[in-house]
Structure 1
Amino acid sequence: MKNETADITRLGYAPSGRRLDVEVFPFSDILRRSRPERVRSTHRYDFHLLLLITQGTPTQIVDFEPVDCASGSLLLLRPGQVHSFGIDLDWDGWLVLFRSEFVPTVSDLPSNLMPSRMLERMPDHMRLGAEDFRATVSAISAMARDAKSDAPTDVIHTLLRYQLCTLVLRLDVLHGQQSATGAERSPSVKRFAKFRELLEANFSGWHQVALYANDLGCTQKSLNRATKDVLGLSAKDVIARRITLEAKRLLAHTDRPIYLIAEGLGFDEATNFSKFFRKCAGQAPAEFRSTYR
């Protein structure tokens, strides 16, 4: 089955009846509109997707890894990630799709209060308590109803923008409450968070731990301590995992030649990339690609 990058304008889902920068609809809508094999296929998105499970216990596949979900599970998928709704389709939930540029990034507020910044620090998977679950369902349901209003499109765009920002703010508060422990405020966790942000921006060019430690103003030993405290891995292994993940995404969801993937990920020779990938993924790049094709 062919895999492809899914653009929000090419999904074919416009329950509002018009093209909006935020689309809100239940998973059951997809089941009614698409063949099961199409629903089960994998995509690499170029937009954000909030997925709130309301019924059932589906296993979602995110970046080639299973994520067990249940009612109250909230997944945040970011541009570039790979996702499948899984094999089991006997469940339902709300989907909120939106482009990154639809979330404000500039304001007179401190940057850490910006919804775009909050999206960056939110976890990939949250579990909501009963009260928070009801409040989140109510907020998303209101967005779905308002999107179908007969008000002018520019008014709906503005309304949805504010509602989306409110939803992100709400989720950021919930995340803060769930993580408000001494461990979450420890120096190691804070250092790891900065390292992860730096890694996301530079993994294709910076392969050495020293480069990250220098930019963070710490020693390689301190950085290794932080990554081991949080993930149980050395900083070198964390870097290798991120490079491998991007390689998997590109191999599975693009037709880009392997030598160009290697070049784009900072390898001088395709053979060096192949050795690296086989060591980390247990397969040669071509073997991995054929598995997902």
Structure 2
Amino acid sequence: MDVLDFAELRIRGDRRGIDLAAPQRPDFHHLIHVGAGTLRHTVDFSEHVLGPGSWLWVRSGQVHQYTPEDLAAARGTLVIWKPGFVDAEVPFEQGPLVPEGPHARAAQLALRHLTHEYADLSSIPLQAHIETLRLLLTVLLLRLAHARPDAPATHRPGGTFAHYHAAVERDFADTHRVADYAAALGYNTRTLTRATLAATGMTAKQYLDARILLEAKRLLVHTDAPAAEISRRLGFREPGDFSKFFRKRDGRTPQWFRAVARGATRAAESTENPTTR
């Protein structure tokens, strides 16, 4: 794991030739805390504005982008760790969190303790140091989890939607049929739809399609794979089926989305949209 401030992040980016404004899809978690100033941060194509006291957990596998001018002006801390380093459950709610009162103080204290122990490499054996970091990060994540308002029962581990969510995350590239998930989980489709509507405001099919669309966007932006290859990875029988699916839900062709999301052509937005051809 790693703990660094925004200034160090910029230094490392410059040293390694990493464009922090470009889409990134790392295989590790980021926990961002803003201490002062404002940081705009885009996660899976949604921009979040983080003010002082804000926290944002960017999960492994999500596509995210920094705003360099904000990163230069704001002050804050970034905690990075590989999946499996701690057992803390990733929160269903993915937006920024601003703890209040005792929750804010406890989270700050946990972060200060984690930062202190991270910098202290010599006073205890290495294995004890690593275990200390693991436990302190767990404390911080638990504090943040309990700083959120109580989640609906449908979001909690063991609920119908929680089971469906986990199955979709695991199998969305293998099957696009809600009936298959219902059969595998021992529910009927109406039960899954009721639970998903209560948890997300979407039907079970809409939720599944949104997850497939999100993965398509991640692959289009973060890889150079052609649409036909992405279609295959996502379980579509034909590339044309994937293009129809994408265009119906996003309003653009996969190629057009890729060009705009990457900023490949700023002028493109003022020219004819190829989806209308």
Matched residue of 2:76: which SS?
A: strand
Percent of aligned pairs with the same amino acid: 31
1:276 has 2:257 as partner:
no
Give the drift of 1:28: 2.4
Distance in 2 of aligned mates of 1:66 and 1:211: 34
Structure 1 residue 48 corresponds to structure 2 residue 29: yes
Q: Given that residues 49 and 96 in structure 1 are in contact (C-alpha distance below 8 angstroms), is that contact kept between their aligned partners in structure 2? A: yes
**Higher RCO (C-alpha 8 Å, min separation 6):** 1
**What is the CA deviation profile of residues 9-55 of structure 1, one whole-angstrom value per residue up to 9, with x for unaligned ones?**
xxxxxxxxxxxxx11011122235546x9332221111111111211
- Contact 1:122–1:175 under 8 Å retained in 2: no
Q: 2: distance between equivalents of 1:203 and 1:187?
A: 19
Which residue does the alignment assign to 1:165? 135
Q: Show the counterpart of 2:8.
A: 29
Match of 1:108? none
- Within 5 Å, give how 1:36-185 maps onto structure 2: 38-86=19-67, 88-89=69-70, 90-103=73-86, 115=87, 118-121=88-91, 123-125=93-95, 126-151=97-122, 155-156=125-126, 158-176=128-146, 178-180=148-150, 184-185=152-153
CA contact (8 A) 2:111 2:140 kept: no
Change (3 A) 1:54 1:252: same
> Which runs of structure 2 are paired with 1:250-289 in the superposition (5 Å)?
250-289=219-258
- For the 8 Å contact 2:121–2:129, the answer to whether it is kept is no
Provide the rounded CA distance (Å) in 2 between the counterparts of 1:280 and 1:46: 27
Pairing of 1:230-249 with structure 2 (within 5 A): 230-249=199-218
The question of whether the paired residues in 2 share the 8 Å contact of 1:44 and 1:80 is answered with yes
Per the TM alignment, residue 149 of structure 1 is displaced from its structure 2 partner at its CA by: 3.0
What is the DSSP-based 3-state SS (H/G/I as helix, E as strand, rest coil) of the residue aligned with 1:267? coil
Displacement after TM superposition at 1:156 (Å): 4.0
Q: What amino acid maps onto 2:7 in structure 1?
A: S
Residues 103 and 147, structure 2, Cα contact 8 Å, conserved in 1: no
d(CA) in 2 for partners of 1:160, 1:134:
25
- Aligned-CA RMSD value: 2.7
Change in Cα spacing, 1:238 to 1:121, as seen in structure 2 (3 Å) is same
Q: Mind listing any 5+ residue stretches in structure 1 that lack a counterpart?
A: 1-21, 104-114
* TM-score, scaled to structure 2: 0.82
Task: Provide the TM-score with structure 1 as the length reference.
Answer: 0.78
Q: 1: CA distance between counterparts of 2:163 and 2:100?
A: 29
Q: Post-superposition shift, 1:86?
A: 2.7
The letter for the 2-side match of 1:219 is N
Secondary structure of 1:42's counterpart equals: coil
